[in-house]
Structure 1
Amino acid sequence: MLVFPNAKINIGLNIVEKRSDGFHNIESCFYPVGWSDALEIMPAGKLSFHSDGIAIPGNASDNLCLKAYQILAADYDLPLVSIHLLKAIPIGAGLGGGSSDAAFVITVLNSQFDLKISLEKQQDYARRLGSDCAFFVVNKPVYCYEKGDRFENIDLSLTGKWIVLINPGIHISTAEAYAGVKPELSGNDLRNLLKEPISKWKSEVKNDFEAALFLKYPLLKTIKQSLYEYGADYAAMSGSGSTLYGIFEKEIDLSAYFQRYKIWQGMLK
């Protein structure tokens, strides 16, 4: 079975508090976008994982796709499979690409082998792999909270708007990003802010990682400013970076202006 695990963006990101387990509680809106990997899972004589495209750091045996298979195999009588991943979503870019791949393994195995696992239980399995993995099981816009793994429906549709994502290739670890943030409760409810016209988001919808990371990596701030100069209704960094995105009312082609970087442009659904 061949599927296309997609990326997500964060629209707003508030770092609320540090938890006793070392993680942080956050508030954000996750929104799916069309930048995708390609994932093929086939029955095989032995369990294997292979990837092409963007090089994935670390040992293949530690990849989240294999771990997703192993989590299900511990509870279900799964046949052995070969997993082939064509990696296109930049790694460590605030887009959730690795989490998406792992979540899609769970949903594909459930469908391919008729495991009849409920959506809720699939999300529980995904939560064991990473904080944002569970989002990709249902893969629709949500307000997320706690570690980013608990969700609430949100009435937000950007269908028909155009998005441009720019990844300048700066690798920012999660630890580095959080080191520059002082957790605190936001004075505004993000759910209410996102009910406002998108034209108002620029001054109200914030990503708490931006302030410190823009000082350390001025290029990120420059790219965000450029997206506004080219007419974006709203621009921000996704997650802990380093991908910046701009949301536009109409289709626009900025590939000529960002030739040095990875870029994806497309319509939101």
Structure 2
Amino acid sequence: MAILEKAPAKINLSLDVLRKRDDGYHDVEMIMTSIDLADRIELEQLEEDRIEISLESRYVPNDERNLAYKAAQLFKKKYGIKKGVHIHIDKSIPVSAGLGGGSADAAGVLRGLNRLWSLEISLDELAELGSTIGADVAFCVYGNTAIARGYGEKIEQLPSPPPCWVVLAKPDIGVSTRTIFGQIDIGKLFHPDTTAILDALKEKNFSKLCSNVGNSLEEITFGLHPEVLRIKEAMVQAGATGVLMSGSGPTVYGLVEQQSKATRIFNGMRGFCEEVYLVRLLG
């Protein structure tokens, strides 16, 4: 019997880096929401005690470097599972894009294994387990809309954003989150108004939300990869509101209320880069 899990991508409505901790990590405050761009994960039990990953992507490893593999390994060890699993990942989320694709896959594996082996583990416990794999995994276990604090492991659910369309544009580059965080000078960072975004979500106020989305890491990524800034400028010029880089980049998104306008912007952005998507918010 195969278990199927949908693993949605996320975008950052805000990303604020607060301080560097003694352990080398940074304390962050991030508001994230799920979008209808998802990988699909199929899990099948193996009688032999091993983990297999299959997927069609030359950019994603199918061994212990893959976060989905790490999630399965951790799950089996934590709960004493001696059977194996074959995990097939159908990739739709771009790789190294700031959209949490690897984290979404790891979270999907944790949820899927919970169902495959009928363990009835709570999402809270799965999220705690996932937070040891990567900073966005805890959020991805829950999905929807939430604020993440600490290094990303402390999750508080939030009201969903006003309904809208999302245009995503990713240049043909990958961005290393580790490299971007290594460039941080806390004293020089821009800090978004997280409180204003929280208020906008509570009020379901689209224009207020768009006016306050912000990302502390944008200027660093723009400095290293000027093409990301050019895509943001092009999307603003095309008429999108709430335009922001997600995560450490390089994907830039724009929030748009009307479908016809979103479609126009989507078609216009395809002249700037190959990977352009038009999706709805899930969160």
Could you say whether these structures have the same fold, taking a TM-score greater than 0.5 normalized by the shorter chain as the test?
Answer: yes
1:230 maps to which residue?
A: 238
Taking the TM superposition and a 5 Å limit, the aligned residue runs for 1:116-127 are 116-127=120-131
**Which of these residues, 46, 64, 68, is aligned with residue 65 of structure 1?**
68
Whether 2:254 is the aligned partner of 1:246: answer yes
The reply on whether 1:213 has 2:226 as its aligned counterpart is no
Which of 129, 153, 157 is residue 153 of structure 1 equivalent to?
157
Q: Mean Cα displacement is larger for which, 116-125 or 68-77?
A: 68-77
**Consecutive unaligned residues in structure 1, runs of 5 or more:** none
> May I ask how many residue pairs the two structures share in their alignment?
268
1:258 matches 2:270:
yes
C-alpha spacing 1:188/1:72, structure 2 compared with 1 (3 Å): closer
The 8 Å contact of residues 193 and 212 in structure 2, kept in 1 or not, is answered as no
**Does 1:29 pair with 2:37?**
no
Pairing partner for 1:175 from 165, 178, 181: 178
For 2:155, give the aligned amino acid.
F
Of residues 73-82 and 145-154 in structure 1, the stretch that sits farther from structure 2 once superposed is 73-82
> Is 1:106 the counterpart of 2:110 in the alignment?
yes
Distance in 1 between residues matched to 2:238 and 2:191, nearest whole Å: 30
Which residue is 1:94 aligned to?
Answer: 98
Percent identity between the two aligned chains: 31
Report if aligned partners of 1:51, 1:87 keep a CA contact under 8 Å in 2: no
Once the two structures are superposed, residues 144-178 of structure 1 have per-residue CA deviations (whole angstroms, 9 ceiling, x without a partner) of 1110121123234233x000111112211122212
What RMSD in Å do the two structures reach over aligned CA positions?
2.2
Give the structure-1-normalised TM-score: 0.91
| Mapped partners of 1:235, 1:99: distance in 2 | 23
1:268 has 2:268 as partner? no
What is residue 81 of structure 1 aligned with on the other side? Answer: 85
Cα contact 2:37–2:93 (8 A) shared by 1: yes
Alignment of 1:126-141 (within 5 A): 126-141=130-145
Q: Deviations over 1:218-262 (max 9, x none)?
A: 221121122222221211000000010011011122145325321
TM-score (ref. length: structure 2): 0.86
Q: 1:214 to 1:117 in 2, by over 3 A?
A: same
More helix by share: 2
